[in-house]
Chains A and B, each alone.
Chain A
Amino acid sequence: SQQGEEDPQALSIQEGENATMNCSYKTSINNLQWYRQNSGRGLVHLILIRSNEREKHSGRLRVTLDTSKKSSSLLITASRAADTASYFCATDTGGGNKLTFGTGTQLKVEL
């Protein structure tokens, strides 16, 4: 099974609402990262949280990390139609600089 698994697999919300996506992983990590992908092409890095951090903010993004539960959440506040994309978590488990990506959450923000 995958190191990182996001849930839900798909999420549909109205513009202005908050979107929460969760990521669970299996082995200990150095850091966890969230990426966004539009239209099945290249991914864009959003935020990195280290294993000794519990929460991090970047603009409308809030990421939490619970290493005891091996889980992370990504919260997008006041969502916009432009936030429509797939969101992936990726874990650094210390194997060099390699990341292991999860299965992704497809977010759709409707007007």
Chain B
Amino acid sequence: GAGVSQSPSNKVTEKGKDVELRCDPISGHTALYWYRQSLGQGLEFLIYFQGNSAPDKSGLPSDRFSAERTGGSVSTLTIQRTQQEDSAVYLCASSPGTSGNNEQFFGPGTRLTVL
């Protein structure tokens, strides 16, 4: 079956512009995660959705970052008034969401470059 997909694969934008990144999780997966990875670094947790529960937004670095998940499926990460330090690869992952089964399936990522 289809894996996690993300779009666009690459995004170049100018400082101050808003960007939207999209994630399509694996069908039936109730948990969805967003991470950020700067060049040569580890994964920085941003936000986590689990079913209909309130999302865990504890990793969002500033109020310029927001995310939503419509209908328990597709998710959009929005970065407003982008800054150069927002340049990174943004990774989305999904998992079945059942207790004890939290292996995460990753999308290919969106490489964001803010000029």
Interfacial residues, chain A to chain B (CB-CB below 8 A): 2, 30-31, 33, 35, 40-45, 48, 50, 88, 90, 92, 95-104
Inter-chain CA distance A45–B102, complex, in Å, is 11
Query: Which of B41, B45, B89 is in CB contact (< 8 Å) with A100?
Result: B45
Residue of B nearest to A48 (CB): B103
A2 to chain B, nearest CB (A): 7
Query: Which of A45, A97, A99, A102 is in CB contact (< 8 Å) with B97?
Result: A97
A74 to chain B, nearest CB (A): 15
Query: A97-B95, A103-B41 given. 16 additional CB < 8 A pairs?
Result: A30-B100, A31-B102, A40-B37, A41-B108, A42-B4, A42-B109, A43-B104, A43-B106, A48-B103, A50-B100, A96-B50, A97-B99, A101-B45, A102-B42, A104-B41, A104-B42
- Identify the interface centre among A90, A95, A99: most chain B CB within 10 Å of its CB: A99
Give chain A residues whose Cβ lies under 8 Å from the Cβ of B35. Answer: 101
Say yes or no: A42-B31 contact (C-beta < 8 A), given A88-B43, A98-B48. Answer: no
Please state if A99 and B102 are interface contacts (CB–CB under 8 Å). Answer: yes
Interfacial residues, chain B to chain A (CB-CB below 8 A): 4, 31, 33, 35, 37, 39, 41-43, 45, 48, 50, 56, 89, 91, 93, 95, 97, 99-100, 102-109
Residue of A nearest to B48 (CB): A98
Query: Which of A42, A92, A101 is in CB contact (< 8 Å) with B102?
Result: A92
Say yes or no: A101-B50 contact (C-beta < 8 A), given A48-B103, A96-B56. Answer: no
Give chain B residues whose Cβ lies under 8 Å from the Cβ of A96. Answer: 31, 48, 50, 56
Inter-chain CA distance A103–B37, complex, in Å, is 10
Say yes or no: A97-B42 contact (C-beta < 8 A), given A40-B89, A41-B108, A44-B106. Answer: no
Inter-chain CA distance A102–B42, complex, in Å, is 6
Give chain A residues whose Cβ lies under 8 Å from the Cβ of B56. Answer: 95-96, 98
Please state if B42 and A42 are interface contacts (CB–CB under 8 Å). Answer: no
Say yes or no: A45-B105 contact (C-beta < 8 A), given A40-B39, A104-B42. Answer: yes
B75 to chain A, nearest CB (A): 15
Jot down 8 A-B pairs with beta carbons below 8 A, ordered by A. Answer: A31-B102, A40-B37, A42-B108, A44-B106, A97-B48, A97-B97, A98-B56, A101-B42
